[in-house]
Amino acid sequence: MLKCPKCSSDNMLGAIFCRNCGDKLNLDDLRPSDIPRAKNPNSFSFIKLVYRLFVLGMLVGAAGVLAMILLPPKATMVTPSDSEKALAERKYQTMVTLSARAAETAMFTSAEATHLAMKKVLPDPAKTDGLVLVPEQISVEFLPSGCISIQVSAKLFGKLPLHSTAIVRVDAGDSGITASVLKVSAGRLALPGALAPVISERVLPMFVDNSELKRLAADMRKLDVTGGSATITLKSVRERIKNASAK
C-alpha cells in the first residue's frame, strides 16, 4: 500500500492520484519504508537449506537402516548333508534313550546341531497360519569363542524375508543351564542393548519352550563349545533313569 503524504490515506500500489484527497502521488516524496519491497523468490535462505538437508539426511538414514535389516547376514547358514543328518539322529537317540547302552557324552558338529534344531525347534507348518512372523530355517554354529550363533530365517506375513542372529553363551552345571544373549542383530544391523530383547525373545523361546529339549537340558551336566563342535555331558544313565521313574 502507498500512504498519501498529504492526507495519510492508503492507496493501492501503482496509483497516480490519492483516492481520498485527489492529490497526485509523487513516489519521489515517499519514504523508502512506505514502499514495500517484494521478496525475491530466488534469494538464498540458509534456514531452508539446513531444513532440506536435514530431511534428506533422515530419508537416506531410514533407507539405509531398512536395507541393513533386509540384507541377509554375511555369515551363511549352515546346511547339513544327508550323512550328517543321519549321524545327528543316531547320536541324539543314543543320548535320550534310557537304557544301559545310553551314551553319557556326545559330540555334535554345527551341521548336526543345525539338523536337530530344524527338526525339533521349528514350528509345525500346519500351525503357522495367521502368524505374522513364520520361522522357516535355523542355523546353529559353534564359535571358537565358546559361544553359539543361532541364526533364524523367517518371513514377515509369509512374503518379506527377515534374518535374525543371536550370539549366546550357554553354561551348564549341576545347578542347571543358563543362557546369556551377548549380541543380537536384524539382518546386518547390530541392535543396541535396549532393542536386543526384540530378537532374543523370538529366538530363545523356540529352544527353551521345547519340551523334548527341556528334558535333555535337565539331564545335562556340562557343555563344552569349541570352534565347529560342542560336547554334551549328561548325568549318569542310572541317575537319569531314577529321575525319570520319580516323575
Measured distance CA(140)–CA(169) in Å, rounded: 13
Measured distance CA(157)–CA(137) in Å, rounded: 16
Which has more confidence, 227 or 159? 227
**What does the pLDDT look like over 19-36, one tens digit per residue?**
788 777 766 655 544 445
Q: What average pLDDT score do residues 53-64 get? A: 85
Q: Is the pTM of this model over 0.75?
A: no
Residue 43 confidence (pLDDT) above 70: no
pLDDT at 247: 61
Q: Where are the alpha helices (DSSP H) in the chain?
A: 46-70, 82-96, 110-120, 196-208, 211-219, 237-246
pLDDT at 179: 78
pLDDT at 51: 80
**What does the pLDDT look like over 10-19, one tens digit per residue?**
877 777 778 7
